Every structure is written in C-alpha cells, then in structure tokens.
Amino acid sequence: MRTGDLVKYWNLDGDIVFGITTSDVFVHSDDMWKGEAIRVLWTDDGDETIERVATLLDPMEEGIEFA
C-alpha cells in the first residue's frame, strides 16, 4: 500500500465510490484507536479520511476494499 492506490467503497445507497490513497502507511494514534492507517481522498465529495489498514485488508470486511 502506498500513495496512489485505489480504494473501492459501497455507500449506504449501494453505490460504488472510489478513493485514492494520498499517503503511505503510517502509525495513527489518538483517543479513538491506534494502529496502521492510510489517508484516502474520496472522489464523490473530495473529503480525505484516515482509514485503518487492517480494515482495508480484511477479506471479511464488507463495504470497503482495495480495488
């Protein structure tokens, strides 16, 4: 995983939304959670979010994955 990778997400309406990673993997740490993370810029609204790497790589996680 590195800058420029494509992420696919299914929103609540079932539409596919694509995102592009804007960072390499880094260690995220705050009061909510700690662990490996990556920043994703979403093409539908231009928002950038921090996503858990474990979630993106988990084949059992529904609704988000690397494309």
Taking only the tens place, the pLDDT of each residue in 13-65 is 999 999 999 999 999 998 888 999 999 999 999 999 999 999 999 989 889 88
Which pLDDT score is estimated for 67? 81
- 3-state DSSP call for residue 54? helix
In a domain, 1, yes or no: no
For the question of whether the overall pTM of this predicted structure is more than 0.85, the answer is: yes
Other beta carbons within 10 Å of 15:
9
In a domain, 26, yes or no: yes
In a domain, 44, yes or no: yes
In a domain, 29, yes or no: yes
Which pLDDT score is estimated for 32? 81
Which pLDDT score is estimated for 45? 94
Domain that holds residue 13: 6-66
Q: What is the mean pLDDT of residues 8-13?
A: 92
- 3-state DSSP call for residue 40? strand
Task: Look at the chain and report how many structural domains it folds into.
Answer: 1
Beta strands per DSSP E along the chain:
6-10, 16-21, 26-29, 34-42, 48-52, 64-66
